[in-house]
Amino acid sequence: MELRGIGCAEVEGKTVLVRVDYNVPLSEGQVADDTRLRASLPTLRHLIDRGAKVVLMSHLGRPEGQVVEQLRLAPVAARLSELLGQPVQQLEACVGPTVEGAIAAGGAGDVFLLENVRFHHEETTNESRFARELARLGDLYVNDAFATVHRAHASTVGVADHLPAYAGLLMEKEIAALSRLESPRRPYTAIVGGKKARSKLGPLRDLVPQVDEILLGGGVAFTFLRALGADVGDSIVDEDLLDEVREIQAAANREKTVIHLPEDVVISEEISADAEVRNCDARAIPAGWKGLDIGPQTVSTFAARIQAASTIVWTGPLGAFELEPFASGTRSIANAVAASSAYSVIGGGETGEAVARFGLSGRVSYVSTGGGACLAFLRRKQLPALEALRV
């Protein structure tokens, strides 16, 4: 996929409107994880160093078109100021004369951050008037928010109808890394986890003809196990999806794509940091107990498959890794991927968070900043925001 890159844009003396993804966790009024802010720095420094005035726009959370005080971007502006080593002026709105006046008063190299664009319902409906108002704030537009490329919103698609549009450095990096999965070296192994089967069946259906094998864990595995007749106790199961799971398994059989299900799991009666845990056959979990992590035998089997792979994509943790009693499986698989010589892509979201928590982000080939966007790219879905950036 060839995009118009920021390197082609004449930015000196221009006001550049940049869509970034600063949808970050907050804790006690501060940014709890600044990974996404750091990922945007190369693009911001590129613009600042070349004499552009930079106007940033992002969403935070899901305020549903209402002003939610806890979702204001002031903490983001404060942390970004520290990372950039210069002030970032937080504006109290997204559009309007006050915003336009503040930006006009700025000079080359200044950085402004608009308020949460999702405080306006017109953002998610891509309302043309709102897109035009945003476009009035800049001379050209840069999209560096890969995590939002599957959303046709005013700040990701609508603005590009009114300004010359370019891909930021992070966007280019994401597309280059993920494009390598379009012609992967074989064997190609997908690791799929996560809490809910419903969010993963579509990706699984699309991955089956692309990969050689799938290592399945997390909550999604228990719906598969139940569909195949296993006793999974009180584990998370979506009963409405059992027929669809059987169809995916049948498709995998036709494609000769092997789906590896857990052999053993870590079970507990409760999800807590001090829970009593046991190891158990994944197909014979007692009533009242729930599977919350893959067990040691499964880890061993999965690690062997990872070692044999030449290309790996991983989306979704394999257990409730946030709690230590259920973190071992995800940690062990993360270590196996890090030790592998395969080209490995981590599909952002919770999986990226887990790999970062275990200190392994620098030992895999690429960690995407976008969970849903990464999956959409891998599934070869149309990504509306990318279409506006094509050469």
Distance CA 269, CA 100 (A): 57
Task: Give the residue from 186, 125, 195, 177 showing the smallest Cα distance to 153.
Answer: 125
Q: What Å distances lie between residue 280 and 102, 234, 307, CA to CA?
A: 62, 13, 25
Find tokens 């498709």 and name the residue: 251
348 is catalytic: no
Distance CA 46, CA 314 (A): 31
Q: What Å distances lie between residue 197 and 61, 202, 235, 242, 391, CA to CA?
A: 23, 9, 12, 10, 37
Neighbours of 101 (CB within 10 A): 9
372 is catalytic: yes
Cβ within 8 Å of residue 256, ≥6 positions away: none
36 is catalytic: yes
Q: Are strands 277-281 and 231-232 parallel, antiparallel or unpaired?
A: unpaired
Name the active-site residue from 168, 349, 352, 371.
349
- For residue 95, list its beta bridge partners: none
Strands (E), 144-286: 165-167, 188-192, 213-216, 231-232, 258-260, 264-268, 277-281, 284-285
Name the active-site residue from 50, 196, 198, 379.
196
151 is catalytic: no
Cβ within 8 Å of residue 362, ≥6 positions away: none
Token pair recorded at residue 243: 């027929």
Name the active-site residue from 19, 36, 79, 200.
36
Task: Give the residue from 170, 172, 218 showing the smallest Cα distance to 197.
Answer: 218
Active site residues: 36, 196, 349, 372
